[in-house]
């Protein structure tokens, strides 16, 4: 289960940014491990604020809820990071700047890149895109291609910004360590912490010649093609996450993630309820009355259904295992077929005659 970040911070879902910040500050002080607080609780509080304290991440958390992030079991697709894992991916991009001194402490404690004046690891924008699939593709799974034009790692310098073959020199600011010491004045006194070197973005080395292809930015705008393995059983509105396939923010940064939201087209003969497929079948009156076997459309193709003698119009039959596969675990839902007596618009003279005879018997 993913954590309820609102509950952790003890605020309403409608809490304003200010209320969130206040709640976070109060709880972080209260549960600070240095003051005898519980480490796990402190971490939870911190994690919750990382998400809710950021407009974009909060919106994503609100919108996707647990649905997009909890779906374990999607091992398969190539390029897939899988689900499960909540929001820990976001740690790199925590914005501690509005926290003042507290941000430095938190940053130091958990090894985040944070703090006023410090250089945090740039995280690229997440991308959300839509992929429209057919109803039957949702039932059976599909391989789909998508194309995206986006900021990617420069193919010439691999995102380093340095001209290939050019000399690198040791960063003078951090003497090649990639980190610099920073003293922060906090409510707990002056605290020393190591932050990523702002000069070399933690590389410890500096380039001497900029990559000509990207002018040293490390970014190249290209169209990338992805082969998406859409798992069988996926529902309209669910999203697949491709870790690190969002936009690349440039030298020293980390790419965001790509979310592929699935849209399932309506089908003329089937609809969906949970993992079940719903359909309606028109059966001749005589078959309902006498019983018999009829052919029914299923998502797997034609299937047969036994109609018992004296079946009422409106009866619902269950075709076991003819529904959507469960994404987690195994097995499939069922198909629920609602039977309707078929009334023809036109019948032959013989049929009419036979019916007239039947009518006389009281049928
Ligand atoms: Zn380049
Ligand atoms: Zn440096």
- The total domain count for the chain is 1
Quote the distance between the C-alpha of residue 312 and its chain's center.
45
What is the pLDDT, as a whole number, of residue 3?
75
What is the pLDDT, as a whole number, of residue 309?
97
> Which residues constitute the domain of residue 305?
271-360
Domain-embedded: residue 316: yes
Domain-embedded: residue 332: yes
Nearest ligand, measured from the Cα of 153:
1
| CB 193 within 8 Å of CB 119 | no
Domain-embedded: residue 341: yes
Nearest ligand, measured from the Cα of 171:
2
Q: Identify the helix (H) or strand (E) that includes residue 17.
A: helix 17-30
| CB 308 within 8 Å of CB 290 | no
Distance 170 CA to ligand 1 centre (A): 20
Task: Say how far apart CA 86 and CA 1 lie, in whole Å.
Answer: 9
Domain-embedded: residue 257: no
Domain-embedded: residue 69: no
Nearest ligand, measured from the Cα of 198:
2
Residue where the block lists tokens 């390029």: 79
Task: Say how far apart CA 216 and CA 156 lie, in whole Å.
Answer: 11
Task: Say how far apart CA 21 and CA 25 lie, in whole Å.
Answer: 6
What is the pLDDT, as a whole number, of residue 35?
74
Distance 267 CA to ligand 1 centre (A): 47
Task: Say how far apart CA 202 and CA 234 lie, in whole Å.
Answer: 41
| CB 47 within 8 Å of CB 87 | yes
Nearest ligand, measured from the Cα of 177:
2
Distance 153 CA to ligand 1 centre (A): 8
CATH code of 322's domain: 2.60.260.20
Distance 213 CA to ligand 2 centre (A): 24
What is the pLDDT, as a whole number, of residue 126?
96
Cα Rg of the chain, angstroms: 30
Residues bordering ligand 1, an ion, CB closer than 5 Å: 154, 156-157, 211, 213-214
Q: 9: closest CA among 54, 63, 53, 65? A: 53
Domain-embedded: residue 342: yes
Burial track 34-54 (b if 16+ CB lie within 10 A, e otherwise): eeebeeeebebbbbbbbbbbb
Domain-embedded: residue 331: yes
Token readout for 23 is 């709640």
Distance 160 CA to ligand 1 centre (A): 7
Task: Say how far apart CA 177 and CA 162 lie, in whole Å.
Answer: 19
Distance 35 CA to ligand 2 centre (A): 34
| CB 42 within 8 Å of CB 28 | yes
Strand partners, 210: 162
Please name the residues in contact with 187: beta carbons below 8 A apart, sequence gap of 6 or more: 29, 101, 102
Domain-embedded: residue 41: no
List the chain pLDDT tens, one digit each, 363 residues.
467 889 988 998 888 888 988 998 888 888 877 777 787 888 888 888 888 888 888 887 887 654 443 333 333 333 333 333 333 333 333 333 334 444 444 444 444 434 334 446 789 999 999 999 999 999 999 999 999 999 999 999 999 899 999 999 999 999 999 888 888 777 777 778 888 888 887 888 888 999 999 999 999 999 999 999 999 999 999 999 999 999 999 988 899 999 999 999 999 999 999 999 999 999 999 999 999 999 999 999 999 999 999 999 999 999 999 999 998 878 999 999 999 999 999 999 999 999 999 999 998
What is the pLDDT, as a whole number, of residue 199?
83
Distance 214 CA to ligand 1 centre (A): 4
């Amino acid at each position: 289960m993913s954590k309820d970040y609102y509950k952790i911070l003890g605020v309403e879902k409608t809490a304003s940014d200010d209320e969130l910040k206040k709640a976070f500050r109060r709880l972080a002080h209260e549960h600070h491990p240095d003051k005898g607080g519980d480490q796990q609780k402190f971490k939870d509080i911190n994690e919750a604020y990382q998400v809710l304290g950021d407009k974009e991440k909060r919106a994503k958390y609100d919108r996707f809820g647990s649905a997009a992030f909890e779906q374990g079991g999607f091992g398969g697709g190539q390029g897939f990071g899988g689900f499960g894992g909540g929001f820990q991916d976001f740690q790199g991009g925590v914005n501690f700047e509005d926290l003042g001194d507290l941000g430095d402490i938190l940053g130091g404690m958990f090894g985040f890149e944070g703090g006023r004046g410090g250089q945090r690891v740039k995280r690229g924008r997440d991308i959300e895109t839509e992929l429209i699939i057919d109803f039957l593709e949702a039932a059976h799974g599909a391989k789909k291609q998508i194309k995206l034009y986006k900021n990617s790692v420069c193919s010439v310098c691999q995102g380093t910004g340095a001209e290939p073959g050019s000399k690198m020199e040791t960063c003078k600011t951090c003497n090649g360590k990639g980190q610099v010491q920073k003293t922060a004045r906090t409510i707990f006194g002056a605290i020393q912490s190591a932050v990523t070197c702002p000069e070399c973005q933690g590389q410890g080395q500096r380039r001497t010649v900029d990559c000509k292809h990207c002018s040293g930015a490390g970014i190249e705008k290209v169209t990338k093609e992805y082969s998406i393995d859409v798992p069988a059983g996926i529902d309209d509105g669910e999203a697949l996450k491709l870790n690190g396939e969002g936009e690349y923010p440039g030298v020293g940064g980390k790419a965001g993630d790509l979310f592929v939201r699935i849209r399932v087209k309506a089908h003329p003969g089937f609809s969906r309820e949970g993992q079940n497929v719903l359909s309606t079948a028109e059966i001749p009156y005589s078959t309902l009355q006498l019983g018999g076997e009829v052919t029914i459309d299923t998502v797997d193709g034609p299937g047969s259904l036994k109609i018992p003698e004296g079946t009422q119009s409106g009866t619902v039959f269950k075709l076991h295992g003819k529904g959507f596969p469960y994404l987690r675990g195994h097995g499939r839902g069922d198909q629920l077929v609602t039977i309707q007596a078929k009334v023809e618009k036109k019948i032959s003279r013989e049929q009419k005659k036979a019916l007239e005879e039947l009518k006389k018997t009281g049928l």
